[in-house]
Amino acid sequence: MSVTSAHNAKPLYRFDCTRRLVARLRNDEAVIGGIGHSNFDLWAAGHRPQNFYMLGSMGLAVPLALGVALAQPRRKVFALEGDGSLLMQLGCLATVASLAPKNLAILILDNGSYQITGGQRTPASGGADYVAIARACGLANASWAADEADFERLVETCLATDGPHVIGLKLDDQPPAGQTERDPVQIRDRFMRGMGAKRSALPG
Amino acid sequence: MAQAWHEVAVAVMKANEIRLVPYVPDNVLKPLINAIHADPFFTAFTTAREEEAVGIVAGAAMAGTRGMVLMQTSGFATLANVLASLPVAYQIPVLMMVSERGTLGEFNLGQAAVWRTMRPTLESLAMPWQVITRLDECEFIMDRTIRQALLTQQPAALILSPLLTGGKASPVKAGG
Ligand SMILES: Cc1ncc(C[n+]2csc(CCOP(=O)(O)OP(=O)(O)O)c2C)c(N)n1
């Protein structure tokens, strides 16, 4: 089996990959979309009660997903984090490695830039390899997706086998397909219901 | 003999089902950290940054597991952005216990300077916080603050004053 590196991975379209991920979810898996366009495309792929949209705390998609994964070890949890955001909180990869939650998968959405603030290059865009960084932190199940079919195969591996898993996606520079409704309290309330952590007689 | 502050903290956390305890360590918190690690009721671990621990506790809270972040004053000073944009904006009961450095005999000017940012930050975030100075008030303040945070879906900070913990005294005499 050939190993895909950061250099020969095909640039993918974030919205298409997000849709492919969501289409494979069958068991109310939690999905945490990070700040930037990660959560926009998660929203655009169609709201699910198990989606959480992080609107403000740059770098906290992985810690949030880790908290959900620790609280509910039987539910698979996906973190969708932009490269700029992950770069701000790289230490979280070591935390994930040390706790080794079997039900956590991290998708690194690497467009080399801060797209939502105008597409400025990140300081890592010169060649830092996030999958290699994840591996060096102790996350052995970390791979770049070579193309769309490989991405789908890797998602299936996340769903079918114990993690923690990391999938790196090299992205093209297409804009997001939509914009999240920015209502944090509603997002939290819906997500808690989606996690079965809150019951309410109020509709929603 | 009366319980020590950290024994009270463990009892109150257990009574309120606070199980998840990510932290960045502090010397004053050592007896509490040791007790929590020794008790299988808790899941305790270090994180690289306090921000990360806030994210973990927020995620767990939304999925039905209660947690508390342990840190020192300087750790709290790194948190304004994530507190404002996560537990405050989303109304998530992220609980924090902060060992207060920088006052009542601080020997490190940097710690003393950071200490001055804590109360204005807590005030401007408009999040509930309490300073605990006395052992006889410790259980009441901890228990009620935690319960209020959980019932009102608000983050809250418990500040452990050196008056309660003894703090960290200077290893050398002034001028010595
Ligand atoms: C601490 C902090 N610094 C800066 C910002 C401004 N900001 C918001 S999103 C963002 C870029 C996010 O980049 P990335 O995670 O790569 O996602 P993308 O925009 O490329 O989808 C920045 C710089 C912020 N919200 N918080």
Q: Where are the domains of chain A?
A: 6-194
In angstroms, the CA B110 to CA B102 distance is 8
Q: Does domain A6-194 have CATH number 3.40.50.10470?
A: no
Protein residue whose Cα sits closest to atom 24 of ligand 1: A58
Task: Return the pLDDT at A2.
Answer: 56
Q: Which CA distances in Å does A65 have to A38, B115, B135?
A: 14, 31, 37
pLDDT score recorded for residue B176? 55
Q: Is the model's pTM score more than 0.95?
A: yes
Query: What's the CATH superfamily of B5-119+134-159?
Result: Thiamin diphosphate (ThDP)-binding fold, Pyr/PP domains (3.40.50.970)
pLDDT surpasses 60 at A146: yes
Which among A59, A65, A94 is the nearest to B59, CB-wise?
A: A65
> What percentage of chain A carries pLDDT values higher than 90?
94
Q: Which of B10, B84, B75 is closest to B40 using CA atoms?
A: B10
**8 Å CB contact between B60 and B76:** no
**Is residue A25 predicted with pLDDT exceeding 80?**
yes
In the sheet with A51-53, reading across from the earlier edge strand, the strands are: A51-53, A30-33, A77-82, A104-110, A165-170, A142-144
Angle at B14 between CA A199 and CA B151, to 5 degrees: 35
Q: How far is CA B27 from CA A141, B30, B158, in A?
A: 36, 5, 17
Amino acid identity of residue A110, one-letter, is: D
Nearest of B161, B19, B164 to residue B100 by alpha carbon: B161
Residue B166, sorted as left (phi over 0), alpha (psi -120 to 50) or beta, turns out to be left
Question: pLDDT confidence of A1, banded at 50, 70, 90?
Answer: very low
Average pLDDT over residues A165-169: 98
Q: What is the H or E stretch that residue A179 is in?
A: none
Compute the C-alpha angle A198/B69/B166, nearest 5°: 140
Q: Strand A104-110 vs strand A113-114: parallel, antiparallel, or unpaired?
A: unpaired
Whether the ipTM is more than 0.95: the answer is yes
Is the alpha carbon torsion for A143, A146, A151, A154 positive or negative?
Answer: negative
**B119 CA to centre of ligand 1 in angstroms:** 28
User: Domain coordinates of chain B in residue numbers?
Assistant: 5-119+134-159
Residue A78 pLDDT: 99
Confidence class for position A96, pLDDT limits 50, 70, 90: very high
Chain B residue numbers with beta carbons less than 8 Å from the beta carbon of A90 are: 48
**Which residues of chain B have a CB within 8 Å of the CB of A196?**
64
Nearest CA in chain B to A188: B90
The low-confidence residues of chain B, meaning pLDDT below 50, are none
Q: Can you tell me the distance from the alpha carbon of A204 to that of B23, in angstroms, rounded to the nearest whole number? A: 35
Q: CA angle, corner B44, sides to B64 and B137, nearest 5?
A: 85
The predicted pLDDT at position A6 comes to 82
- Give chain B's contact residues with A (Cβ, < 8 Å): 20, 22, 43, 45-49, 51-65, 67, 81-82, 84-86, 89-92
